A and B are shown apart, each in its own frame.
Chain A
Amino acid sequence: MMKNNNLRSIYTIPYAVWILLFVLAPIGLIVYYSFFDLSGNFTLMNYKNFFSSVYLTLTISSFWYAFLITFFSLLIAYPTAYFLTKTKHKQLWLLLIIIPSWINLLLKTYAFIGLMGLYGPLNAFLEMIGIGKQQILFTDFSFVFVSVYIFIPFMILPIFNALDRLNPALIDASRDLGANSWTTFKRVIWPLTINGVKSGVQVVFIPALSLFMITRLIAGNKVITLGTAIEQQFLVTQNWGMGSTIAVFLILFMFIIMLVTSGNERGMKVNGKNR
């Protein structure tokens, strides 16, 4: 028994070291830096600054776009994942959706600049069907579209897993007991897959808050997120204090989102019992 315990504590060493070096220490440093001004004096000014109108509007607009991106990702990902679980070679189809996410983000973004350009294929198509050339690049639409495209695999995966684990007998039972398909979805399928949806929302919403390259390349800086502001503070203004302060708030928001999306454990327990 003693030996077993020792062994277990040895196993936890890599995890503990990892968490300490790459999670706790960096967060600690960010919090530390956020209390210093440009000349290295201790100050709370950065926090006061954050509540100025510019950064507050910035935060609200970041949340709005992150919400839009998450919403549309979910809208597309849920039916897709559902459809995938019903196909014959589901792992293959899933793989085909996952593979594009292995390609470098920047490359994909650059590809969209070409696709959405005035002389790109998308506008050629619009012209062909009689709508005529549109300015697609550098609009809200292009920004949300490209972001949704990038995040969709991350939304599909957890939902697919949840749906795949769902015991089909439960659906049959629901139908046998007289529920129509909408009621079955609402009362059986959705509650049992809600945890997949929650983790999907987490992995999309949180990074969407801090997107930064796409805001410039696709939205032409007409959309600005917290990520853009952090990048500017560190690379251009070299105000590490202010950059860290924004990052502290970003981390806080992340924690809140994690808490909100993992609050209701009931569904999971039911799920656990079933298995």
Chain B
Amino acid sequence: MKSITQSVILILLISGVLLLFNRELNEGSKTGKDTITVYNWGQYIDPDLLKQFEEETGIKVIYETFDSNEAMMGKIEQGGTSYDVTIPSEYMVEMMKEKDLLIPIDYSKVPNSKNIDPYFMDLPFDPKNKYSIPYFWGTVGIAFNPTLLEGQTFESWDNLWDPSLKQRVILVDSARETVGMGLNSLGYSLNSTDTKELRKATDKLKALRTNVKAVIGDEVTQLMINNEAAISLTWSGQAADMMFENEDIDYIVPEEGSNLWFDNIVIPKTVDNIDGAHAFINFMLDPEVAAQNADYVGYSTPNLSALDLMDPEVVADERFYPDENTRSHLEVYKNLGLELLGVYNELFLEFKMSLNK
């Protein structure tokens, strides 16, 4: 009994000390005038730039990461956080706008916004870019490793249905992308709301089932790098990560068309330091900073002035900076509303259920 009492006291003492210590730590990083909290995807910024920003402006940056748009919105919606800047994808910008979670950007404080390619501005998901500025953009396509294949080539989505590819194709565990691939391969819109079209796309996907090796998430990057997988449906950014580690891998955007996506800088309503947030956005849009960041992250930058400062070979790479013609076949996701998102997911579930038959 005595030893129990002693250990209870000891535990309480240690907890007390830790609590004090923790409070002390939080005190140091308390948000306010001279700090901002940036809430971004993992590995989605050059950490040197954060240091440079701190040195230039004297504003301390607290950097936190998330791994899905939904998780990010969840945290912002529930409040209790003080994120000053975050980076949702385009459909999430639309959703956050609807839920009144964003604060309009004051462009007088962001002169560097002039550097952004007008092609990527004023898109339907955020007219006049009232709330968001594109951070990176990309496509959805097929990453493949020719050294593991028997000469198959990829130009069209239909190539994935080739009977020689049994158990070779990895799809992404996301309804919009996978059902979208079915829609695209039939020449339908990625934002189709037509039940018949969706039905046809699902049935076409089900015909792919013998070729499907797995339907997974980010783990695919590692599998492709390690030559474990030969073909995967993926985002251009993820393909860039794969190609950086494994030079054999190639990436194409199928000719029928595909998705054009954006990740965008926004100021959520949880903002604490609104001037700091604007200063950070302006800093990230500086051509030199954007060029360095694009070089580090490996995604395509919408910053026109930055392109001049980057390696011409990278900028000329049609896989990541497709020409106008290819771009015209790309489609940006529209927010279809929860009702239809449910339909897409139910069809996707039906497809996944058919895999094990």
Listed in ascending order, the chain A residues whose CB lies under 8 Å from chain B are: 38, 54, 57-58, 61, 113, 117-119, 135, 137-138, 140, 216-217, 219-224, 229, 232-233, 235-239, 242
Contact = CB atoms under 8 A, between A and B. Distances in A.
Contacts of B174: 236
Contact of B215 (A38, A58, A220, A232): A220
B350 A54 contact: yes
B77 to A, nearest CB: 11
B339 A38 contact: yes
25 contacts: A54-B353, A58-B349, A58-B353, A61-B353, A117-B226, A119-B226, A135-B167, A138-B213, A138-B214, A216-B173, A216-B215, A216-B216, A217-B219, A220-B216, A221-B216, A222-B214, A223-B356, A224-B349, A229-B349, A235-B68, A236-B341, A237-B341, A237-B342, A237-B345, A238-B338
Contacts of B216: 216-217, 220-221
A236 B345 contact: yes
Contacts of A216: 173, 215-217
B352 interface: yes
B198 to A, nearest CB: 14
B68 A232 contact: no
Contacts of A238: 70, 338, 341
A142 to B, nearest CB: 11
A57 B341 CA distance: 21
Contact of B338 (A137, A138, A239): A239
Given A117-B228, A221-B173, A235 B71 contact: yes
Nearest to B338: A38
B341 A221 contact: no
Given A138-B213, A217-B219, 18 more contacts: A38-B342, A58-B349, A61-B353, A117-B226, A119-B228, A135-B167, A137-B214, A140-B356, A216-B173, A216-B215, A216-B217, A217-B216, A221-B216, A222-B212, A222-B352, A224-B353, A236-B174, A237-B338
A235 B175 CA distance: 12
Task: Give the one of B167, B353, B355 with max A CB within 10 A.
Answer: B353
What 3 A-B pairs are tightest by C-beta distance, nearest first? Answer: A220-B214, A221-B215, A138-B214
B346 interface: yes
A144 B222 CA distance: 23
Interface in B328-357: 338-339, 341-342, 345-346, 349-350, 352-353, 355-356
A232 to B, nearest CB: 6
B349 to A, nearest CB: 6
A57 B223 CA distance: 30
Interface string B191-232: 000000000000000000000111111010011001110000
Contacts of B212: 222
A235 B69 CA distance: 10
Nearest to A135: B167
Interface of B: 68, 70-71, 167, 170, 173-175, 212-217, 219, 222-223, 226-228, 338-339, 341-342, 345-346, 349-350, 352-353, 355-356
A224 B226 contact: no
A26 to B, nearest CB: 17
Given A118-B228, A138-B214, A217-B219, A242 B342 contact: yes
B223 to A, nearest CB: 8
A236 B69 CA distance: 9
Contacts of A138: 213-214
Nearest to A239: B342
Task: Give the one of B167, B219, B346 with max A CB within 10 A.
Answer: B346
A239 B349 CA distance: 14
Nearest to B348: A232
A127 B153 CA distance: 30
Nearest to A236: B345
A57 B346 CA distance: 13
Given A118-B228, A216-B217, A221 B352 contact: yes
A153 to B, nearest CB: 26
Contacts of A235: 68, 70-71
Task: Give the one of A61, A135, A222, A238 with max B CB within 10 A.
Answer: A222
B345 A232 contact: yes
A232 B227 contact: no
Contacts of B342: 38, 237, 239, 242
Task: Give the one of B71, B170, B349 with max A CB within 10 A.
Answer: B349
B95 to A, nearest CB: 9
Nearest to B95: A238
Nearest to B347: A54
Contacts of A221: 173, 214-216, 352, 355
Contacts of A229: 349
A58 B354 CA distance: 11
A233 B341 CA distance: 10
A242 B167 CA distance: 32
A223 B339 CA distance: 26
B168 to A, nearest CB: 10
A119 B227 CA distance: 9
B210 to A, nearest CB: 12
A115 B170 CA distance: 19
A117 to B, nearest CB: 5
A249 to B, nearest CB: 16
A61 B342 CA distance: 22
B356 A61 contact: yes
A119 B345 CA distance: 34
A243 to B, nearest CB: 11
A222 B169 CA distance: 13
A57 B356 CA distance: 12
